Amino acid sequence: MTALLTIIVLILIAIAVWQMTKIFEFSQIGIENAQVANDKDNKLNGYLMFAFLGFLYILTIFSLWKWSRVLLPEAASEHGKDYDTLMAISMALIFTVQLITQTLLHYFAFKYHGKKGRKALFYADNDKLEFIWTIIPVITLAGLILYGLYTWTTIMDINEDDDPIVIELYAQQFNWKARYAGEDNVLGDANVRFLNDYDGQNILGIDSSDPNGMDDVVSTTEIHLPVNRKVVFKMRSQDVLHSAYMPHFRAQMNCVPGMITQFSFTPTITTAEMREKPGIQDKVEHINELRAERRAKGEDLDDWEFDYLLVCNKICGTSHYNMQMKIVVETEEEFNAWMKEQKTFSETVAGTER
Ligand SMILES: [Cu+2]
């Protein structure tokens, strides 16, 4: 790979030197040069500009058609819809503006291509024109930013009035742990100094002198959430900067060592419902076809099933790519049944010495 890159760099340097000597030749006054562009060349380049414009749009439309299925499915959280609307409006604006400006740019490059005897018009300025092309972006961008701020403050309004479940997400190289606040719905204090006491059972450093922590429940494999109930995630990190990213719920928040950050949302679609969506079924089918092909070549691969995921979205080290945890959104009854099977902190440490 390094050898290939070295060869490519050497070739590029050679081309650059060759081009520079050509420019030097052109700059010599009085020497007739057949390589100076004539009317025919200019016209051809004008048409090529059009061809390039066509190529850009054909490529865009083709990519949208071919790869839009790798995009995220519909948002599975209440605020996700606002977030997606904001994204859709921004993208529509960008596409419209770029369509107009790129078309004009390429059209003018064609219309005013070089011609023998044609002279450029000297045009100093036009206040009215400058005013128009300043004020339109100002109004559009101000509107977009205000709308974005409104959406942001709505999403980040983490009030605890409507009785949300409180869950701690604990990040470390390279896994996630989730701590439910238990019966009292209050997380007990925690500190790295208490990590691994109680014969290594205290994996989150829960402070056993705080009674709020005794009914806390720690899960190292899955996060379960009841559908349509607000959840407040409190994030901590043990070592470096991580980022808790739950793409299907349009949620992301950095996990910073030494502080607690938070994000809140209400899941609206259960895992079982999401698996029934046609878009998801297509995706699963396609991935399993690819897996079957690889299995046929001798790779050891299981069939894939859709699940919500919590992943890390900050490059935090060598196994960052695999730092993930399954999220299960289910009915209230299913959630309660799962919760009943979990051990509280006091049950976990019972019989061990601090
Ligand atoms: Cu990480």
Domain boundaries, the chain: 41-67+75-113+124-157, 165-349
Ligand 1: distance of its center to the CA of 169 in Å?
A: 12
What DSSP string describes 247-312?
A: GGGTEEEEE-BTS-EEEEE-B-S-HHHHHHSHHHHHHHHHHHHHHHHHHHTT---PPP---EEEEE
By C-alpha distance, which of 349, 2, 11, 345 is closest to 180?
345
Distance 242 CA to ligand 1 centre (A): 4
**Cα(245) to centroid(ligand 1), Å:** 10
Using alpha carbons, select from 162, 65, 54 the residue that is nearest to residue 102.
54
CATH number of 165-349: 2.60.40.420
pTM exceeds 0.85, yes or no:
no
CA of 260 to the centre of ligand 1 (A): 16
CA distance 77 to 158: 15
Per-residue pLDDT of the chain (354 residues), as tens digits, is 889 999 999 999 999 999 999 888 877 766 666 667 788 888 898 899 989 999 989 999 999 899 888 889 999 999 999 999 999 999 999 989 999 999 999 999 888 888 888 888 888 889 999 999 999 999 999 999 999 999 999 888 887 777 889 999 999 999 999 999 888 888 888 877 877 777 777 888 887 777 787 788 888 889 999 999 999 999 999 889 999 999 999 999 999 998 999 999 999 999 999 999 988 999 999 999 999 999 999 888 888 999 999 999 999 999 999 999 999 999 999 999 998 888 887 777 776 766
The CA 143 to ligand 1 mean position distance, Å, reads 35
